[in-house]
Structure 1
Amino acid sequence: MLERCGAPHAPSILRSAGLDPAPRRSGNAPTWREFLRAQASGLLAADFFHVDTVTLTRLYVFLVMEVGTRTVHVLGVTAHPTAAWATRLARNLLPDLGERATGFRYLLRDRDAKYTDAFDAVFTSENISILKSAPQAPKMNAHTQRFIRSVRAECTDRILIYNEQHARRVLAEYAEHHNSGRPHRALQLRALADDPNVIPFPAQRVQRHDVLGGLIHEYSDAS
């Protein structure tokens, strides 16, 4: 019989051998966050969120984000989302991306039933691989979730939405603000349209531009 007293524990054996706990034992496998950061410039992320109207009708919004630049495409709004609807919107996205579509390598999405093989084929036909997040793990698609949090806090939770047409108009205007005028912490408080290589001089006069009827303000150099 083996003597158990005084035998070293498995953790101490691993430490003495210089081995980290799994899953980083190889020392080379990146975390999910590190992977997303490394692939950001070639990553698209898709997600759904909902908006409730004043008549208590629930509308569903489908969006795709270019993660590297945080550019958001609000592709559609409907009260009755289907797999065919999502696939059609995905086909409409690729012409909008134009030549930039060839620069994307992955599409990150969850496991919603509306993402069918036909939906995935729209992207795989352009050599864009599909990445699926784990079940019930929205934080794995953190960039779109951050946009959804912003659009709710700054827009849809502060406006009475009447119907689909109104929702489309409101969300289109907010997306334009997000993509051109809103500062982003991940971009050192630059707006997406700002040139990262230009340091602006302090403006002598500042002009305010109202968005969504004055709900949001944008400011620019008026001199």
Structure 2
Amino acid sequence: MKAEGGNPAALASQSSAPKRRRSPKTDPRLVAEIRRLRILHPNLGKDKLHVLLRPWCAEKGIALPSVSTLGRIIARAPDKMRHSPARLDARGRPKPMQRSRKPRKPKGVATTALQCLAVDTIERVRDGLKRYLVTFIDPASAFALAVALPSKATRHTQAALAAVLDLLPQKPQVLLSDNGSEFEAGFAQTLTEQQIARWYTYPKTPKMNAHAERFNRTIQESFVDYHEDLLFTDLARFNQKLAEWLVFYNAERPHHRLGQQPPLSFLLQHQPQCQRWWTHTEP
């Protein structure tokens, strides 16, 4: 305080961090060897590097760093010692590959009724013949729709998506799906035209689309298993029966997580516009 001329502000706590920080001293040969291994085996992790460096360090008389120290050595490098794959352009010059990153479902995000639509497919096989069901469900209200398809070609899934969007009282803001090819091409084009955002699940992570997976189980155990013959012999008749079951599922079947209400009752309570839509729905 005296050095500051009696200013009381000098008594306030200040940072005690050192003005000069020590920089770690790492043997350049070790850094070069780590880089060589990361180029030879792209993006090799610190745990595996620790094992591979052990005989090399013993031969060179260099102390083997710990796994965490190896991680810090890699992190301090300006390029993180990453070796990006490259292709050659028309003139033979290296051109880095551009990886497209798919938008993933954010963690811990809870959607409101009809804000998100989760989609998935079910495959059934009998005597070498395949049939598919594409299922749609609103995770918030459990309102669900489904249709059986002769194949999972995008022309079929695109038509199913268009029909579902026509049936919904409001357009969803986002669609959640896995990375299946049936949800690309024309299917993705419809989403773009309708200005519906897209969330992808991570590969082999069905729990990211848990509501769709649970509905897939329900529809198979409650309906498909009892009408499988129609699925393979008369697809139109199967879809007619399926529509009748979906009316029961959405309008009458109690749902535990909705307080034993059916999805439509839940929607009528939480989405005022659904009341106008419901009165215009033909029986």
Q: TM-score normalised to the size of structure 2?
A: 0.51
Residue matched to 1:47: 120
SS of 1:183's equivalent in the other structure is coil
Q: Which runs of 5+ in 1 are unaligned?
A: 3-8, 11-29, 198-223
- Could you say which structure has the higher helix fraction? 2
Q: Which runs of 5+ in 2 are unaligned?
A: 1-23, 26-67, 70-104, 270-283
Change (3 A) 1:52 1:170: farther
- Could you say which structure has the higher strand fraction? 1
Q: Deviations over 1:90-145 (max 9, x none)?
A: 223222225x11xx211001111111143122123222101011111111111111
Q: Is the 8 A contact 1:51 1:156 kept in 2?
A: no
Q: Deviations over 1:11-69 (max 9, x none)?
A: xxxxxxxxxxxxxxxxxxx973x21x24554101111113456x663310112222222
Residue matched to 2:10: none
Change (3 A) 1:167 1:145: same
Q: How does 1:141-220 map to 2 (within 5 A)?
A: 141-162=209-230, 163=233, 164-194=235-265
Q: Deviations over 1:139-188 (max 9, x none)?
A: 11111111111112222223442321342133222211110111112201
User: Which amino acid in 1 is paired with 2:153?
Assistant: T
Equivalent in 161, 164, 170 of residue 93 of structure 1: 164
RMSD of equivalent CA atoms: 2.8
Distance in structure 2 (CA, Å) of the matches to 1:158 and 1:84:
28
Distance in structure 2 (CA, Å) of the matches to 1:63 and 1:108:
12
Q: Is the 8 A contact 1:57 1:79 kept in 2?
A: no
Q: Deviations over 1:60-83 (max 9, x none)?
A: 011222222211121x32232211
Distance in structure 1 (CA, Å) of the matches to 2:251 and 2:116:
20
Distance in structure 2 (CA, Å) of the matches to 1:80 and 1:57:
10
Q: TM-score normalised to the size of structure 1?
A: 0.64
Residue matched to 1:58: 130
Distance in structure 1 (CA, Å) of the matches to 2:157 and 2:227:
26
Q: Percent identity?
A: 19
More RCO (CA 8 Å, sep 6+):
1
Residue matched to 1:72: 144
Q: How does 1:90-129 map to 2 (within 5 A)?
A: 90-98=161-169, 100-101=170-171, 104-129=172-197
| Paired residue total | 165
SS of 2:155's equivalent in the other structure is helix
Distance in structure 2 (CA, Å) of the matches to 1:88 and 1:174:
21
Distance in structure 1 (CA, Å) of the matches to 2:265 and 2:162:
29
